[in-house]
Amino acid sequence: MNEMISLRLDFEPWHQLLTNYVNEQGLVDYRRWQADESAIAQLKTWLTSLQTANLDALDPNTGLALLLNLYNALTIRQVLEKYPIESIRPTILGVPNWLAFKLFFSSNLYELNEQKLSLDDIEHNLLRKRFSEPRIHFALVCASSGCPQLRNEAYWPDKVREQLEQDAQQFIRNPEKVRYDAQNNTLYCSKIFKWYEEDFVAAAHSVTEYIQQYSDQPMLPSAEIEYLPYSWQLNDRS
């Protein structure tokens, strides 16, 4: 049986870019980043350097960190190519352009070890299939305010699980994403818990029980769930 190996991948260039252009609230200075030709080149060079990585030859934590970093980097690259924009969900005469929105996630953006990938491929066909890890949904950022907060640091193989735990706590303890009304026994939460319900239920008996693991507020298992509006406004700090 082939043993997984720990291959040293260089995430430092991506870490530097995040440190330079993302603040502690997870907002991205797209305007300044786009204007910096060296930063654009650094992102391109770094993404190219990872294209020969073989997921099957990586230990799980290295593969997990690689895919999380790739997803977020490819998302930002798409925004930088189109900026200035107000949202990744464009509108035509006030009506959402669903085709453009779908293409943002479904278009082939990258080739990893000769496999063409879209954002959807990275999320659904690689991350969700390879890892029983619902906390990825607090780490993948689609450049929108409704998303989890983008870290201003890279994911690292030696601490990616710890980082994901921090991401889960930060997301669930943010009242804009999750809050419980004890008087009405109603749990208000992000639509992320609706879209990926099966992943959270696989890790706990219900969405409520999953959230309870991270919430400081006791809640009844019988709580009614209501999903909050999801903001597609760009996570722009400019």
Structure confidence at residue 4 (pLDDT): 45
Question: Which is nearest to 207 in space by CA: 218, 220, 194, 216?
Answer: 194
Number of domains in the chain: 2
For residues 167 and 95, give the distance between their C-alpha atoms in angstroms, rounded to a whole number: 33
Q: Cis omega before residue 84 (within 30°)?
A: yes
Full domain range(s) for residue 189: 178-227
Residue 2 lies in a domain: no
Query: Same structural domain for residues 154 and 183?
Result: no
Question: Three-state SS for 41?
Answer: helix
For residues 76 and 109, give the distance between their C-alpha atoms in angstroms, rounded to a whole number: 12
Structure confidence at residue 1 (pLDDT): 34
Query: Same structural domain for residues 101 and 213?
Result: no
For residues 147 and 102, give the distance between their C-alpha atoms in angstroms, rounded to a whole number: 16
Among residues of the chain, what percentage have pLDDT more than 90?
Answer: 92
Query: Same structural domain for residues 36 and 102?
Result: yes
Structure confidence at residue 95 (pLDDT): 81
Query: Same structural domain for residues 149 and 217?
Result: no
Give the pLDDT confidence of 135-169 residue by residue, as tens digits: 999 999 999 999 999 999 999 999 999 999 999 99
Question: Which is nearest to 104 in space by CA: 125, 129, 127, 81?
Answer: 81
pLDDT along the chain (238 residues), means of 10: 56 98 98 98 98 96 98 98 96 84 97 98 98 97 98 98 98 98 98 98 97 95 97 95
